[in-house]
């Protein structure tokens, strides 16, 4: 009986949370809920079984000091709880039915309210692992900044100040898709893994070649001041589908 009561309590809590929480359901949570609700739950039968069990086994509860009146009160309370659970299920989707379209649509609506940037950050944290490429002080943050003849107005990564020749390590595993000495980035490397790219720019020396596979933590370059640079530092970028993400949203520097 106590197992049945525990099951009823768990079911009640689950449906209460589904009905009242402001949590933005992930697709996995919605699918799991649909799967759970797809099973037929005969609360009327559960209610009758519990009531019948208690009435037929009054003597077994004597050690708890329960008299007939106590048993009746406890039975009524259990019946009320079961009925409330049943009503809650009916409200949010019906017994043996799937989650209502309204709940699914509401969850999808909340998901759509997230910005693409927020979606990208969550995706990177969930699917990929990154490490800090070098230890140093961030000298220029991601985003808008005052432009000069050398410095761009929209900084697409972060600059980490370090001594020239400091070893740079691969922040993530992948394939070296670019190993170049040309352009405003000077000597720079792109490492690609699926739809994610990490860029390491203004290097003094490149230690890997285009097409080479690297593991996270491999030595790939050394800090320099090549290209459009005001001094020795590493310009570090993270991109998903060519959309830039602030590395400080992913890593602690």
As a 3-state breakdown, the chain gives helix, strand, coil percent values, each rounded to 5, of 40, 25, 35
Residue 232's pLDDT band (boundaries 50, 70, 90)? very high
CA–CA separation, 13 and 23 (whole Å):
15
Percent of the chain whose predicted confidence (pLDDT) is above 70? 57
**Contact indicator for 201, 221 with CB cutoff of 8 Å:** no
At residue 95, the pLDDT reads 47
In the chain, what is the straight-line distance between the N-terminal and C-terminal CA atoms, in Å? 55
Instruction: Read off the pLDDT of each residue in 220-244 and give the average, rounded to a whole number.
Output: 96
Convert the pLDDT of each residue in 100-151 to its tens digit. Answer: 566 556 656 666 689 999 999 999 999 999 999 999 999 999 998 777 776 7
Convert the pLDDT of each residue in 60-100 to its tens digit. Answer: 655 555 555 655 565 566 566 656 655 654 555 554 445 55
Buried b (16+ CB within 10 A) or exposed e, 127-153: ebebeebbebeeebebeeeeeeeeeee
Strand partners, 167: 222
Q: What is the number of helices (H) and of strands (E) in the chain? A: 6, 12
At residue 56, the pLDDT reads 73
At residue 24, the pLDDT reads 46
């Amino acid at each position: 009986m106590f197992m049945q009561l525990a099951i009823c309590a768990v079911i009640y809590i689950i449906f209460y949370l589904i009905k009242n929480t402001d949590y933005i359901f992930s697709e996995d949570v919605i699918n799991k809920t649909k799967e759970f609700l797809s099973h037929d739950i005969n609360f009327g039968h559960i209610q009758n079984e519990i009531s019948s069990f208690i009435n037929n086994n009054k003597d077994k509860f004597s050690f708890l000091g329960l008299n007939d009146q106590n048993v009746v009160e406890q039975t009524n309370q259990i019946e009320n709880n079961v009925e409330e659970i049943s009503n809650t299920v009916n409200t949010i989707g019906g017994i043996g039915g799937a989650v209502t379209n309204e709940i699914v649509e509401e969850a999808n609506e909340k998901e759509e309210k997230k910005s693409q940037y927020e979606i990208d950050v969550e995706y990177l944290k969930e699917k990929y692992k990154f490490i800090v490429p070098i230890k140093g002080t961030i000298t220029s943050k991601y985003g808008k900044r005052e432009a000069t003849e050398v410095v761009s107005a929209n900084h697409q990564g972060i600059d980490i100040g370090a001594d020239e020749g400091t070893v740079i390590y691969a922040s993530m595993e992948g394939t070296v898709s670019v190993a170049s000495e040309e352009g405003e980035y000077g000597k720079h490397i792109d490492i690609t893994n699926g739809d994610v790219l990490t860029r390491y720019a203004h290097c003094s020396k490149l230690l890997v070649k285009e097409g080479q596979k690297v593991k996270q933590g491999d030595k790939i370059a050394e800090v320099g001041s090549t290209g459009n640079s005001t001094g020795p530092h590493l310009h570090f970028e993270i991109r998903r589908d060519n959309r830039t993400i602030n590395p400080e949203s992913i890593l602690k520097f």
